[in-house]
Amino acid sequence: MKKEQAETIALQAVAFIGGDERALRGFLAQSGMDEGHLKAALTQPEFLAGVLDYILSHEPTLTTFCDQADLPYELPARARRALPGGDVPDW
């Protein structure tokens, strides 16, 4: 997968998280960010990789995201591998 495609999927994940108050609170707590920092980080590939890490870390969140975005369940993991640090975890 190309980096641009991976970033698009990660931005879809950001929109998903932003649209779910519980997911947003969990993401902000886990990342240590506030909403202002989140908006400023949207163009950083490392941040987008972290968003996908968050989605991938909880299967119910992953499946809900994929169902709502009409994506195959394995696509976020493929996108994660295309972003910085993606060669480390074995999703």
Taking only the tens place, the pLDDT of each residue in 76-86 is 999 999 998 87
Q: Which residues have C-beta within 8 Å of that of residue 15, sequence separation ≥ 6?
A: none
**Where are the chain's structural domains?**
3-81
Dmax of the chain from CA atoms? 31
pTM here is 0.87
Residue 10 pLDDT: 97
| SS3 letters across 12-45 | HHHHHHHCCHHHHHHHHHHHCCCHHHHHHCCCCH
Averaged pLDDT for residues 34-59: 89
**Confidence band of 5 (pLDDT split at 50, 70, 90):** very high
**Quick one: pLDDT at residue 20?**
87
